[in-house]
A and B are shown apart, each in its own frame.
Chain A
Amino acid sequence: MKQAFAIVLSAILTQNFVLVKFLGICPFLGVSKKTETAAGMGMAVTFVMAIASMITYATNHFLLVPLHLEYLQTIAFILIIAGLVQFVEMFVQKSMPSLYNALGIYLPLITTNCAVLGVALLNVQNEYNFIYSLLYGTCAALGFSLAIFLFAGIRELINEKDIPKPFQGFPIALVTAGLMAIAFMGFSGFSI
């Protein structure tokens, strides 16, 4: 129980995927202009990361480890994630059209989101079991959603401010992301 709590806290705050581990920066910067799209991206990533954690755990545990093929983890996980995202996209399009319309354009983007691959590899590195892998995947994705949602909110506010011309647009977004990363470093003081 204590380890579960530690996983939740570290995945969301102290080891935040975007702001501390610098994974998934591309969607973090690309889809954070509006809070609605940021929330959509966060939902899609959470969905995929939870499923990816489960499947990659199973593949690693039942296929790669028994055959002593651990060095194939990266390529096998990429293959699985890409296939999985495609499958999820089809499934959602058929069974939940409204969710598909909400997530639609973000789903394919997740294929190349390194946060998803990152969570799969970290699960192996940290030697989590199935339940903890799932928990870590979900919470890391929630941390991603939290970061992108906060960032989008700040960017929306910043857009209306009087910013010096050389800083307008992308530069100020990068400065903001840097400041947010510093703020999240404050959480690293927690020790469990």
Chain B
Amino acid sequence: MYSIISAVAVVGGTGLVFGCLLAYASIIFEVKKDPRSSQILEILPGANCGACGYAGCSAYASAVAEGGAPVNACSVGKDAVAEKIADIMGVKAEKVEKKIAKVLCNGNCNHAKYKYEYFGIENCIAAAKLAGGAKTCHTGCLGLGTCTNVCKFDAISIVDGIAVIDPQKCTACGLCVQICPKHIIEFVPEKSTHWVLCKNTDKGVFTGKYCAVGCIGCGICGKNCPKDAIHIENNIAKIDYSKCIGCGICAMKCPKKAIHSIKV
């Protein structure tokens, strides 16, 4: 009888001691959290997909509550969730901006120059390790289809030796953006109509030698833009999509045809 009582007392007592300790610790070590972050967490879909760029729904919720993070970053919950979060935060929700991935290279086999002929395994990551790939341009699409294979939505195809993403099928999951060893796939707004299809930041003289359609950073596009939406950064033209009205003047004026337009 004694052994039963002592066993119950020891386990129960240990549990009680730890319970009290934890209860006490939760008061002492309480970290003040913004109450809004738990409210936001309840609204979020709870998919923990990470599409917003944070580690999960709770990380995103606290990022919003502590300021800084936009209320409309949840692409799963879309506008409905964004509106509710905006109510909690007391700001006006802007529409969730849908994005698509875009391969920023147009140096297909007719335009780009090659250093050597590649006969290895059909994988861009492997090819990129051989002196940066077969193309002379170090930011050129290798076109071996690593992004095509990783895409779950069958949205990427290889056309003339470069990857092309079908905007209709792209869900902006970001798998191709992560896997591309050249880091030339980027998100652009779905509504965008013009893209600088080059990421080579070398001086124009060199870019011109690598590829017939590379951006040489001449700045003609920026000078002709009526809305001041395109600028040269690191020898490469960059479009500010919040200002771009899609007039297409930059694409027409570009001497290298590095800017692409849906209209053309």
* Chain A contact residues, CB within 8 Å of chain B: 59, 63-64, 67-69, 72, 75-76, 79-80, 83-84, 86-87, 90-91, 93-95, 105, 160, 162
> In the complex the two chains form, is B22's CB within 8 Å of A83's CB?
yes
Q: How far is the CA of A162 from the CA of B120 in the complex (A)?
A: 11
Q: What are the residues of chain A within 8 A of B123 when measuring CB–CB? A: 162
B1 within 8 A of A: no
Which of these, A69, A80, A91, A95, contacts B7 with CB under 8 Å? Answer: A69
Can you list 22 A-B pairs, Cβ within 8 angstroms, ordered by A?
A: A59-B14, A63-B10, A63-B14, A67-B10, A69-B3, A72-B7, A76-B11, A79-B14, A80-B14, A83-B22, A84-B18, A87-B18, A87-B22, A90-B22, A90-B25, A93-B31, A94-B30, A94-B31, A95-B29, A160-B125, A160-B126, A162-B123
> In the complex the two chains form, is A72's CB within 8 Å of B11's CB?
yes
Which of these, B10, B15, B22, contacts A86 with CB under 8 Å? Answer: B22
Question: Per DSSP, are chain B's interface residues mostly helix, strand or loop, or mixed?
Answer: helix
> In the complex the two chains form, is A83's CB within 8 Å of B7's CB?
no
> In the complex the two chains form, is B31's CB within 8 Å of A83's CB?
no
Q: What are the residues of chain A within 8 A of B69 when measuring CB–CB? A: none
**Nearest CB of chain A from residue B11's CB, rounded to whole Å:** 6
Residue of A64, A72, A105 with most partner-chain B CB within 10 A: A72
Q: How far is the CA of A8 from the CA of B14 in the complex (A)?
A: 31
Q: What are the residues of chain B within 8 A of A83 when measuring CB–CB? A: 18-19, 21-22
Q: How far is the CA of A110 from the CA of B121 in the complex (A)?
A: 41
B26 within 8 A of A: yes
Q: A76-B11, A162-B123 are in contact. List 9 more A-B contacts (CB 8 A).
A: A59-B14, A67-B10, A69-B6, A79-B18, A80-B18, A90-B25, A90-B29, A94-B28, A162-B121
A-B contact count (CB 8 A): 53
Q: What are the residues of chain A within 8 A of B31 when measuring CB–CB? A: 93-94
Q: How far is the CA of A105 from the CA of B54 in the complex (A)?
A: 14
Residues 13-43 of B at the A interface (beta carbon under 8 Å): 14-15, 18-19, 21-22, 25-26, 28-31
**Nearest CB of chain B from residue A87's CB, rounded to whole Å:** 6
Closest to A87 in B: B25
Closest to B15 in A: A79
Residue of B18, B19, B21, B126 with most partner-chain A CB within 10 A: B18
**Nearest CB of chain B from residue A140's CB, rounded to whole Å:** 23
Q: What are the residues of chain B within 8 A of A87 when measuring CB–CB? A: 18, 21-22, 25
Q: What are the residues of chain B within 8 A of A105 when measuring CB–CB? A: 55
> In the complex the two chains form, is A93's CB within 8 Å of B29's CB?
yes
Q: Which 8 A-B pairs have the closest CB atoms?
A: A83-B18, A94-B29, A90-B29, A90-B25, A162-B121, A67-B6, A160-B125, A93-B31
Q: How far is the CA of A48 from the CA of B15 in the complex (A)?
A: 19
Q: What are the residues of chain A within 8 A of B22 when measuring CB–CB? A: 83, 86-87, 90
Closest to B125 in A: A160
Q: What are the residues of chain B within 8 A of A69 when measuring CB–CB? A: 3, 6-7, 10
**Nearest CB of chain B from residue A5's CB, rounded to whole Å:** 34
**Nearest CB of chain B from residue A30's CB, rounded to whole Å:** 16
Closest to B181 in A: A160
> In the complex the two chains form, is A76's CB within 8 Å of B10's CB?
yes
A79-B11 contact in complex given A69-B6, A86-B22, A162-B121, C-beta closer than 8 Å: yes
B116-141 vs A, CB cutoff 8 Å, 1 = contact: the mask equals 00000101011000000000000000
